[in-house]
Amino acid sequence: MNKMKITVCGCTMYLLGTDKEGTKYWLGVPSWDCGWYWSIGYVYTLDNNEDPEHSSDMTSLDHFEGLGFKDPDEFRKLFAETPLSGDEVWELLEIMRTLRILKDYAECIWCGGAHITHNPCKSVVQDTKERDRINGVLIPALSGELDRLLSPEEETNEL
């Protein structure tokens, strides 16, 4: 199975693999949305499984962490076939978990807490400089590594 990167319905995504029924699963590229948060870890299936680049809609939406990927064995339980080697699966899991931690932390220091109710330490928790470093440096760097890892070889060689 070869690595694939496609754009469908305005969303760029990478092929993660196929399940036992042959359904292809796609990981959406991290995106900066609404000027204040990252959309990270969305996993899609598409309505045109045989020719995904000509899909007109997404048929399911899950979250990477919600699929239970804590180690490569869990990853391989879902995917009968994947374009990733064993080492690449480990790297993917590391990048995705790090992205999730940074995303959650950036939102916490933006809101000044967990955003459940008023946080008595809001002014201490909020940190614009650290939030900007996470959102402007760390997450983009990890997103670049995700692209390097999941893009087809010919695409990464063109860069």
Determine the pLDDT at residue 39.
93
- Torsion 117-110-130-37 (CA) sign: positive
What pLDDT digit, counting tens, does each position of 32-67 carry? 988 878 999 999 999 988 888 888 888 899 999 999
Strand partners, 39: 31
H-type alpha helices, 33-85: 72-78
Average pLDDT rounded to a whole number, residues 66-92: 93
- The token duo for 114 is 């967990």
Polymer length in residues for the chain: 159
Helix or strand (DSSP H, E) at 145: helix 139-150
- The token duo for 43 is 């996993």
In this structure, are residues 13 and 24 in contact, taking their beta carbons and an 8 Å threshold?
A: no
Mean pLDDT of the chain: 92
Determine the pLDDT at residue 17.
97
For residue 40, with 0-12 CB atoms within 10 Å meaning exposed, 13-18 middle and 19 or more buried, which class applies?
buried
Strand partners, 61: 44
Amino acid identity for residue 17 in this structure: G
- The token duo for 110 is 């933006």
- The token duo for 42 is 């969305």
The DSSP call for residue 112 is T
Determine the pLDDT at residue 123.
96
Determine the pLDDT at residue 153.
85
What pLDDT digit, counting tens, does each position of 118-151 carry? 999 999 999 999 999 999 999 999 999 999 999 9
Q: Is the pLDDT of residue 159 over 80?
A: no
Our measurement of the distance from residue 152's CA atom to the centroid of its chain's CA atoms, rounded to an integer in Å, reads 17
What pLDDT digit, counting tens, does each position of 8-20 carry? 988 999 999 999 9
φ/ψ of residue 107, rounded to 5:
-65, -40
Q: Delimit the domains of the chain by residue range.
A: 5-158
